[in-house]
Amino acid sequence: MSKLEYTAMTAADGVEQAFRMLEGRWKLVILFHLFGGELKRFSDLERAIPGISQKMLIQQLRQMESDGIVRRIVHPQVPPKVQYGVTTWGQALCPALDAILTWAEQRPAA
């Protein structure tokens, strides 16, 4: 795969698109619970994130699934078992978020 040549405008647009995929109060919290490759059931995520409603958790997971960051695995059994995990592409986001966290920690005092 060849590396694209960016201008200041196309680079800014690309980063803005990436940030739009991650915007929302809960998406980053959900991702940090899923990083590491472990699959989690919906109820596990719900318990792990105090304050999130079922509706919001479903909405955020569906958006990240449609963006290709999270995968949803449905096991054909009764009662249905649904698990969520980060896609390979989504897992590749972890070092970038760690770098942003490190950058934020280095903010000079005002």
The whole-model pTM stands at: 0.87
Cβ burial, residue 36 (10 Å; 0-12/13-18/19+): exposed
Domains by residue range for the chain, with CATH: 26-103 (1.10.10.10)
Q: Taking each helix axis as running N to C, give the angle between helix 8-22 and helix 27-34, from 0 to 180 degrees, rounded to the nearest 10.
A: 80
CA distance 94 to 69: 11
Cβ-contact 84, 61 below 8 angstroms: yes
**Under DSSP, is residue 65 helix (H, G, I), strand (E, B) or coil?**
helix
Amino acid at the residue 21: M
CA distance 98 to 63: 22
What DSSP designation does 35 have? T
Cis ω for the linkage preceding 95 (within 30 of 0): no
pLDDT in tens, 63-100: 999 999 999 999 999 988 999 999 999 999 999 999 99
What pLDDT sits at residue 2? 55
pLDDT in tens, 27-65: 999 999 999 888 999 999 999 999 999 999 999 999 999
What pLDDT sits at residue 34? 97
Cβ-contact 93, 19 below 8 angstroms: no
